[in-house]
A and B are shown apart, each in its own frame.
Chain A
Amino acid sequence: MKKHHFTDPVEERLKGVSRRDFMKFCGIMAVSMGLPLGAGTQIAEAITNPNRRPPVIWLHGQECTGCTESLLRTSHPSLEHLILDLISLDYHETLNAGAGHQAEAALYQSVKENAGKFILVVEGSAPLKDGGKYCMIAGRPFVDIVRETAAKAAAVIAIGSCASWGGVQSSPPNPTGATGIPEVLKGTTVVSIPGCPPNPYNFLSTVLYFLTFGKLPALDEKARPKFAYGRLIHENCERRPHFDAGRFADTFGGEGHRQGYCLYKLGCKGPITHANCPAILFNEVGAGAWPVGTGHPCFGCTEQAVGFKIPLHTQAEILQVAPDAAHAPIETEKGNGVSAGAAALLGGIAGIAIGAGAVITKNLGKSDEGE
Chain B
Amino acid sequence: MEIKRRDFLKGVAGGAALALARPTLALAREKIRLPDAVGILYDATLCIGCKTCMVGCRKANDLPPEMQGAQTLWDNPVDLSAKTLNIIKKYEHGTGRDKDRETDGYSFIKRHCMHCVDPACVSACPATALTKDKKTGIVSYNKDACIGCRYCQVACPFNIPKFEWDNPFPKIVKCQLCNHLVEKGELPGCCSACPTGASLFGSLTGLLEEAKRRQNMAPGKYYDFPLSSLESGRTQDKPAAHYIPALYGETEVGGTQVLMLSGVPFGKLGLPDLPSGSYVALAENIQHTLYQWMILPIVALGGLIFLVKKRGDKGE
Contacts and interface: CB of A to CB of B under 8 A. Distances in A.
Direct contact of A and B (CB under 8 A): yes
Nearest to B76: A324
Contacts of B73: 243, 264, 318, 321, 324
Given A244-B74, A327-B108, A332-B78, A321 B89 contact: no
B270 A331 contact: yes
A138 B55 CA distance: 58
B156 interface: no
Given A321-B67, A323-B55, A330 B74 contact: no
Contacts of B90: 327-330
Interface residues of B, number: 25
State the main secondary structure of chain A at its contact with B.
loop
Nearest to A333: B78
B109 A321 contact: no
B223 interface: no
Given A318-B72, A323-B55, A330 B268 contact: yes
A321 B75 CA distance: 6
Contact of A328 (B67, B79, B269): B79
A184 B93 CA distance: 64
Nearest to B80: A328
B49 interface: yes
Nearest to B81: A334
Contacts of B109: 330
Interface string B52-91: 0011000000000101000011111111000000011111
Among B73, B87, B89, residue most surrounded by chain A Cβ atoms (within 10 Å): B73
A317 B73 CA distance: 8
A338 interface: no
Interface string A306-335: 000000000001100111101111111010
Contacts of A329: 78, 89-90, 92
B51 interface: yes
Contacts of B49: 327
A269 to B, nearest CB: 14
A323 B268 contact: no
B312 to A, nearest CB: 33
Contacts of B77: 328
A270 to B, nearest CB: 13
Contacts of B89: 327-330
B173 to A, nearest CB: 16
B88 to A, nearest CB: 6
17 contacts: A318-B72, A321-B67, A321-B73, A321-B75, A323-B74, A323-B75, A323-B76, A327-B49, A327-B88, A327-B108, A328-B78, A328-B79, A328-B89, A328-B90, A329-B89, A329-B90, A330-B90
Interface of B: 49, 51, 54-55, 65, 67, 72-79, 87-92, 108-109, 268-270
Given A318-B73, A321-B74, 16 more contacts: A318-B72, A322-B75, A323-B74, A324-B74, A324-B76, A326-B76, A327-B51, A327-B88, A327-B90, A328-B77, A328-B79, A328-B90, A330-B270, A332-B78, A332-B79, A334-B79
User: Can you list the 10 inter-chain pairs with the closest CB atoms, starting with the nearest?
Assistant: A327-B90, A324-B74, A321-B65, A323-B51, A330-B270, A328-B78, A332-B78, A328-B89, A321-B75, A324-B76
